[in-house]
Amino acid sequence: MDGEEIVKKLKFCGKNVKIWDLAKIVFPENISMGDETMIDDFTYLYGQSEGINIGRFCHIGVGCIIQSYGLITFEDFVGVGANSTIFAGTDDYHGSGFQGLGVFGDKYRNITKAPVTLKRHVHVGIGSIILPGVTIGEGCSVGAGSIVTRDLPEWTICIGSPCKPVKEKTREKQLAMEKEFLKEYYGQLG
């Protein structure tokens, strides 16, 4: 199925959504995408259970894995760098269930699911991993290769494994650009 066919099967699809033909979308009926969102080739979106809601003006880079069970929410202007992974569910690794075995549905699995939220203007650096139950605050930048195991504050630069804040960011310029951009974007639409 090519990108244009997938777009037609989404739960909701805004204007000018672009899904490249080599992206893999499973359970598209549980996935929503806002205006001008782009999903690159070799990206895997798995909309199981509670699904994935992607806002407006978002970009998911090449080779990302976005796998729900709990709800995954991207607010507007979110960018996820290539080869990053976001999970809103995970198998039990303590021995009370099989990992990934789906012969009888989830009967023999012990899946923990928890929502993941990326607030407006979040930027996730290349090769990062975000685990279930995490909220990344507005304007937060996650450094390349980070492992996010807990909530991150707004308007900060966070790095490492586990990922933690290292520097505050200014918000004024980015929010002013957003206002100018939206005025121009919606002004062109008449």
Tens digit of each residue's pLDDT (9 = 90 or more) over 90-106? 887 777 777 776 777 77
Instruction: Output the pLDDT for position 109.
Output: 79
pTM: 0.92
At CB < 8 A and 24+ separation, what contacts does 105-114 make?
111/69, 113/49, 113/50, 113/69, 113/70, 113/88, 113/89, 114/70, 114/88, 114/89
Burial of 29 (0-12, 13-18, 19+ CB in 10 A): exposed
Alpha-carbon distances, residue 102 vs 54, 128, 181, 182 (angstroms): 27, 27, 46, 45
Instruction: Output the pLDDT for position 173.
Output: 94
Lowest mean pLDDT among 49-58, 82-91, 107-116: 107-116
Chain mean position to CA 81: 10
Q: Which of 56, 98, 184, 80 is nearest to 140 (CA)?
A: 80
Query: Is pLDDT above 70 for 29?
Result: yes
Burial of 115 (0-12, 13-18, 19+ CB in 10 A): middle
Q: Which of 161, 170, 82, 159 is nearest to 121 (CA)?
A: 170
Question: Predicted confidence band at 2 (pLDDT cuts at 50, 70, 90)?
Answer: confident
